[in-house]
A and B are shown apart, each in its own frame.
Chain A
Amino acid sequence: MNEETLAQLAMDFSVLSLIAVGGAITVLPEMHRSVVEVHGWMGSAQFAELFALAQAAPGPNILVVSLIGWKVAGLAGAVVATAAVCGPSCVLTFAVSRIWQRFRGARWRTAVEDGLVPVTVGLMLAGGYLITLSADHSWPAFATTAVTAAVVLTTRIHPLWLFGAAGLIGLAGWV
């Protein structure tokens, strides 16, 4: 694939990096607009498939951009897309985390941190709710989600075992 495509990947995903407040899932609609609607690099269905794969695979969800980059422009595309989506936000986080430490114990810093806790908890719960709705389309699927949550809350079993079990349940055709 040509250099122009790589430049476009780099530019679009750098912008996504800086507006991705709240993480990868929040910029999904914007990513879809860029990749499917603006550039026509792939169809909507393929975009959705790649995202499902990134969800199921190990590692950060944001690696869906590696898959997109790879589909669009091969290995170079994967590297460029991943670097673009991580670079700007990483530099910002590094800078802020140093300043943040300097104000340890400051009253405003404690207030900012304590004040953000409930918002963080709310976002996590909202994420769980939305992901459950998009993943589950039958009552056995909802049951699988509920049992997984209960097992994670009450035991220290490694979640990959639960993924394996759920994969088998899927294979058996129950969800």
Chain B
Amino acid sequence: MPFARRMLVEERRWLSAEEFTDVLSLCQLLPGPNIVNVAVCVGARYHGVRGAVAAFAGLMTAPFFIMLALGALYTEYGDLPAVSAVFRGISAAAAGLVVAMGLKMAASRRLRSAMASFAVLTLIGIALMRLPLVLFLLSVAPLSVMATLWRAK
């Protein structure tokens, strides 16, 4: 996802930062891998069914085969101490990437100060209390939407 944001917003400029947050909101609302949903949404926006299929194929084909190749290599060499050491380093960096993306989105202009309380609530509910995601979304998302409607009056 951080790579996708970088490509769509910063390099190709197909979406503004605000539009990206928009699309991502819808795609997180819907079931399925978020990044795949984003690809389908952006593809559909520009070229309908063909755009969606092209975006999906473009997103998945190369990683699919890379993944199988890596899987084969890992099966063969994964037990080596050097390989698992490299993996520990990479997974620490990967975590940093996710943290950075969360902070970037938190700094977006779309997150108005009063509404930030819902972000904090979500962070506490999901990260600290580990509430089931579906139930949490069904209860908190409508509240957040109602609060937005109420503020807009």
Contact = CB atoms under 8 A, between A and B. Distances in A.
B95 A97 contact: no
Contacts of A50: 71
Interface residues of A, number: 96
Interface in A73-100: 75, 78, 82, 85-86, 88-90, 92-94, 96-98, 100
Interface in B70-84: 70-71, 74, 78, 82
B13 interface: no
A124 interface: yes
Contacts, number: 332
Nearest to B149: A111
Interface in A1-47: 17-24, 26
Interface in A108-166: 108, 110-132, 135-137, 141-142, 144-150, 152-153, 156, 159, 162-163, 165-166
A54 B91 CA distance: 11
Contacts of A114: 110, 115, 148
Given A18-B31, A136-B95, A159-B3, A67 B68 contact: yes
B115 A118 contact: yes
Given A56-B90, A62-B33, A171 B67 contact: no
Interface of A: 17-24, 26, 49-50, 52-63, 66-67, 70-71, 75, 78, 82, 85-86, 88-90, 92-94, 96-98, 100-101, 107-108, 110-132, 135-137, 141-142, 144-150, 152-153, 156, 159, 162-163, 165-171, 173-175
